Amino acid sequence: MDIALLQARLSHMGEHHISILGLIAFAGSFGAGLHIRGGEIRVTARADLAIGAQVASLDSQN
């Protein structure tokens, strides 16, 4: 897994409206686990690394 790429994509997405299903598919493509609580998203990699990202808004309409 390329951690730098994952960090860059999560950082970029943090400024935009994203769909829950899209985010789950994105995390799954890296073989990662996804945990959402409030406005915080935590992606846990298979190597037991964790990356947290704050998102401005979650749009579940898409």
Q: How far apart are CA 6 and CA 56, in angstroms?
A: 18
pLDDT at position 49: 38
DSSP state of 46: T
DSSP state of 7: H
Q: Where are the domains of the chain?
A: 3-54
Take residue 20 and report the two structure tokens written for it. 């829950």
Digit-coded pLDDT (tens) for 33-43: 666 676 676 76
pLDDT at position 40: 72
Q: Assign residue 41 a region: left if phi > 0, alpha if psi is -120 to 50, beta otherwise? A: beta
Looking at the chain, the whole-number percentage of residues with pLDDT higher than 70 is 2
Take residue 27 and report the two structure tokens written for it. 């995390």
How large is the average pLDDT for residues 28-33? 64
Digit-coded pLDDT (tens) for 15-28: 454 566 666 666 66
pLDDT at position 56: 37
